[in-house]
C-alpha cells in the first residue's frame, strides 16, 4: 500500500491536512508540478472538493488522502466526433481525483454539480498510463483486464501534475489490485460495485437508467436519447435536425406517389431516411456510454 506520507518531491516535506472533512496532501493538491503553491489550483481544487465532499468523505478508506483534483472529459468515440463535430466536446464532463490508493472519476454536470455517478480503480489495476499534450492534455489508460479509455480537455498544468503523480505511484510499486483489475462503477448510495448491464443495485436496489429505455426513446422520439441521458442541449439540436429531416423525407415520398418520374424523389427520400437512422444510431451509441456509467433514475 502506498502511504499517505510518500514524498511527491524530495525538497517538499509532506503536509497532511484536511478540507471540508476530506484528508488531503496540501503540498500536492494545491501545488503545480514544480512544487510551487498556486492560487488558481487551490481555488479550483477547493471548489471541486466542495462539490463532491459528501460522497468523497464516505468513499475514502483509512490511510487514504487526496493528492490532486483535475477537470476532465471522457473522449467520445470516433463516429460520435465525426457526426456530432464540435458538440461532442460538450459532453462527458467529469472530475478526476487522485489519492495515494485510487483514481476516481466523478461524472459532473456542466455547471459543476455531481451527477451521482462514480467510477474508481486502484493504482495496481493500471497496466499503462500516458499523458500527452501541452496547452490541453490527454490521459490514456490501459487496465490489467485489457480495457482502455481516454480523458481529454485536461488543463496543461493539470496534465503535468497527473503525469508526475502517475510516475510516483507506479514507481512506488503500483499499489493494490482490485478484483475487477480496471475501472469499476459503484452505487452512489451504498458503494456496492455495480455490474455492467444490470441497472439496479443488488444491495440497496437503487435503479439506474438502462440501455433498453435509451434505445426506445432514441428511436421513437427525435432527440429522445439525449434528453434521457441528461443532455437537453444536444436533445434540442437533434430534435430540430431529425424533425426537419423526417418531415422532408415524408414530403418527398408523398410527392413521389402519382408522379410520372418518382425515382428521384424516392431515392432522395430514402437517403434522408438513412441519414435520420444514422443520427439515431449515433445518439444510441453516444448515450450508451453515459448509461454504462450508471445514472440514477432520479437524475
Residue 150 has pLDDT above 80, yes or no: yes
In total, how many domains does the chain have? 2
Q: Is 238 found in the same domain as 178?
A: no
Q: Which residues contact 141 (CB under 8 A, 6 or more apart)?
A: 126, 128, 129, 148, 149, 150, 151
Within this chain, do residues 40 and 172 fall inside the same structural domain, yes or no?
yes
Give me the domain span that covers residue 215: 211-291
- pLDDT (average), residues 202-210: 96
Q: Which three cell numbers mark 33?
A: 508540478
Give the tens place of pLDDT for each residue, 2-61. 899 999 999 899 999 999 999 999 999 999 999 999 999 999 999 999 999 999 999 999
In a domain, 297, yes or no: no
Both 259 and 136 in a single domain? no
299 falls within a domain: no
CATH number (domain holding residue 144): 2.30.29.30
Q: Would the pLDDT of 170 be above 90?
A: no
Q: How confident is the model over 207-213, as a mean pLDDT?
A: 96
**164 & 242 share domain:** no
54 and 174 co-located in one domain: yes
For residue 105, what is its C-alpha cell? 472519476
Query: What is residue 249's predicted lDDT score, i.e. its pLDDT?
Result: 84
Whether residue 118 contacts residue 59, with contact meaning beta carbons closer than 8 Å, is answered with yes
pLDDT score for 261: 78
- Confidence at 250, pLDDT banded by 50, 70, 90: confident
Split at pLDDT 50, 70, 90, the class of 189 is very high
Query: CB burial class (10 A; 0-12, 13-18, 19+) of residue 280?
Result: buried
Pair (155, 226) in one structural domain? no
What is the end-to-end Cα distance of the chain in Å, rounded?
Answer: 36
- Is the domain of 51 the same as that of 174? yes
Q: Is the pLDDT confidence value at 140 over 90? A: yes
Task: Say yes or no to pLDDT of 290 above 80.
Answer: yes
Q: Report the C-alpha gap between 27 and 11 in whole angstroms.
A: 11
Residues 175, 181 contacting (CB under 8 angstroms): no
Last residue of a domain, one of 150, 169, 186: 186
Same domain, 35 and 165: yes
SS (H, E, C) the chain: CCCCCCCCCCCCCCCEEEECCEEEEHHHHCECCCCCECHHHHHHHHHHHHHCHHHHHHHCCCCCCEEEEEEEEECCCHHHHHHHHHHHHHCCEEEEEEECCEEEEEEECCCCCEEEEEEEEEHHHEEEEEEECCCEEEEEEEECCCCEEEEEEEEHHHHHHHHHHHHHHHHCCCCCCCCCCCCEEECCCCCCECCCCCCECCCCCCEECCHHHHHHHHHHCCCHHHHHCCCHHHHHHHHHHHHHHHHHHHHHHHHHCCCCCCHHHHHHHHHHHHHHHHHHHHHHHHHHHHHCCCCECCC
Please give the mean pLDDT across all residues of the chain.
Answer: 91
**Per-residue confidence (pLDDT) for residue 257, from 0 to 100:** 83
Alpha carbon 89 to chain centroid, angstroms: 12
Tell me: do 226 and 263 sit in the same domain.
Answer: yes
Question: Does one domain contain both 111 and 228?
Answer: no
Closest to 208 (Cα-Cα) out of 73, 289, 74, 116 = 116
Residue 113 forms part of a structural domain: yes
Joined together, the cell numbers standing for residue 137 give 492534455
**Over pLDDT 70: what percentage of the chain?**
96
Confidence grade of residue 207 (pLDDT, cut at 50, 70, 90): very high
pLDDT surpassing 70 at residue 173: no
What pLDDT score does 272 carry? 86
Tens of pLDDT, residue by residue over 78-130, are 777 776 666 666 677 899 999 999 999 999 987 788 999 999 999 999 999 99
Is 155 found in the same domain as 86?
A: yes
Residue 6 inside a domain? The answer is no
In a domain, 115, yes or no: yes
Query: What pLDDT, on the 0 to 100 scale, is given for residue 174?
Result: 66
Note whether residue 236 is domain-resident: yes
Closest C-alpha among 283, 163, 144 to residue 214 = 283
| 231 pLDDT above the threshold of 80 | yes
| CA–CA gap between residue 142 and residue 139 (Å, rounded) | 10
Is residue 166 within 8 A of residue 132, CB to CB? The reply is: no
Question: Is residue 70 domain-resident?
Answer: yes
Which of 186, 219, 236 delimits the end of a domain?
Answer: 186
User: Are 178 and 131 part of one and the same domain?
Assistant: yes
What number is the average pLDDT over the span 193-217? 95
- Provide the pLDDT for residue 84: 67
Domain end call among 151, 186, 221 = 186
User: Could you tell me if residue 46 is inside a domain?
Assistant: yes
> What is the model's pLDDT at position 299?
62
Amino acid at each position: 500500500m502506498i502511504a499517505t506520507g510518500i514524498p511527491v518531491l524530495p525538497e517538499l516535506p509532506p503536509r497532511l491536512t484536511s478540507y471540508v472533512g476530506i484528508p488531503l496532501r496540501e503540498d500536492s493538491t494545491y501545488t503545480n508540478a514544480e512544487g510551487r503553491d498556486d492560487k488558481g489550483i487551490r481555488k479550483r481544487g477547493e471548489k471541486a472538493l466542495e462539490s463532491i465532499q459528501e460522497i468523497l468523505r464516505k468513499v475514502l478508506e483509512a490511510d487514504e488522502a487526496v493528492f490532486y483534483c483535475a477537470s476532465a472529459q471522457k473522449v467520445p468515440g470516433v463516429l460520435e466526433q465525426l457526426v456530432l463535430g464540435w458538440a461532442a466536446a460538450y459532453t462527458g464532463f467529469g472530475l478526476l481525483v487522485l489519492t495515494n490508493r485510487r483514481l476516481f472519476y466523478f461524472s459532473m454536470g456542466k455547471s459543476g454539480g455531481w451527477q451521482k455517478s462514480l467510477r474508481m480503480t486502484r493504482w495496481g489495476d493500471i497496466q499503462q498510463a500516458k499523458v500527452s499534450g501541452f496547452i490541453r492534455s490527454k490521459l490514456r489508460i490501459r487496465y490489467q483486464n485489457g480495457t482502455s479509455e481516454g480523458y481529454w480537455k485536461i488543463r496543461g498544468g493539470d496534465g503535468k501534475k497527473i503525469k508526475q503523480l502517475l510516475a510516483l505511484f507506479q514507481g512506488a510499486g503500483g499499489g493494490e489490485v482490485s478484483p475487477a483489475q480496471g475501472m469499476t462503477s459503484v452505487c452512489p448510495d451504498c458503494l456496492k460495485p455495480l455490474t455492467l448491464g444490470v441497472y439496479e443495485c443488488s444491495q440497496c436496489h437503487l435503479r439506474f437508467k438502462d440501455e433498453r429505455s435509451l434505445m426506445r426513446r432514441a428511436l421513437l422520439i427525435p432527440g429522445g436519447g439525449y434528453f434521457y441521458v441528461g443532455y437537453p442541449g444536444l436533445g434540442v439540436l437533434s430534435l430540430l435536425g431529425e424533425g426537419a429531416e423526417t418531415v422532408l423525407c415524408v414530403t418527398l415520398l408523398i410527392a413521389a406517389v402519382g408522379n410520372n418520374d418518382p425515382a428521384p424523389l424516392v431515392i432522395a427520400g430514402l437517403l434522408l431516411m438513412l441519414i435520420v437512422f444514422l443520427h439515431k444510431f449515433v445518439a444510441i451509441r453516444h448515450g450508451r456510454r453515459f448509461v454504462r456509467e450508471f445514472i440514477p433514475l432520479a437524475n
